[in-house]
Amino acid sequence: MFTLQVKRYGMLPEQLAQKVEMQFISVKDGLQVLAIQVRDTMRQNVINSIIRDGSTGNLVRAIEYYIEDNVGGGRTVGIGSIPELNYMAPYWYLVNYGGLSSIAARGESLYGYFGTMIAHGRPNASMRGVNVSGAKIATEKFTPMGQGGYRMTPTAPIAPKNYIEKTSNWLMGVIRIHYNGWLHRTKSFSI
């Protein structure tokens, strides 16, 4: 007669399921942290590329992260919503890729704002043309609603800031160090 002894090693299926679920939550949280970091890096890349005073900050504010839970448990993270960018900062595309603005392409002029280099300073006529590469500045003053402004005819292209590509470059470095493996297996990330 034999005595059969059955021993169980490892976790119960319920425990395993619980552990997997905990890790999944951890991955989800990690992805959200990464999304915030990517958003902040992209915003910083835009800020770093500002050349002169008087930025509205609209592009920086328009860059936000979005997280969507997919059917089946996956999670997608996106940085920047094109409709929102088009609404808040329609020049986002031109700033990133560079080129001639439509005004410059048509050879027209517009009223430019030339702020002082002092924070919250009033427009300063002596600053006209400063740091505006290639722009021809006329002396005709334009004062809608008391705001100082000067007509300018842009002729130089907008230099590409490539804030999207720079952020992508940074993200790939981060993935290479910290996230390689699970990110590629389980999640998608888009900029």
Which CB, 80 or 148, lies closer to another protein? 80
By CB under 8 A, name the one of 78, 123, 129, 160 that touches another protein: 160
Q: Is 173 in the site for another protein (CB under 8 A)?
A: yes
Please state the closest distance from residue 14 (CB atom) to another protein, in A: 39
AA identity, residue 124:
N
Query: To 10 degrees, the CA torsion angle through 87, 48, 100, 65?
Result: -30
3-state secondary structure of 136: strand
- Show contacts with another protein in window 94-133 (CB under 8 A): 94, 97-100, 102, 104-106
Please state the closest distance from residue 68 (CB atom) to another protein, in A: 23
Please state the closest distance from residue 99 (CB atom) to another protein, in A: 5
Please state the closest distance from residue 172 (CB atom) to another protein, in A: 6
113: exposed, middle or buried (Cβ count in 10 Å: 0-12, 13-18, 19+): middle
- Show contacts with another protein in window 40-99 (CB under 8 A): 93-94, 97-99
Gap between the Cα atoms of 178 and 182, Å rounded = 10
Give the strand pairing for 149-153 and 65-69.
Answer: unpaired
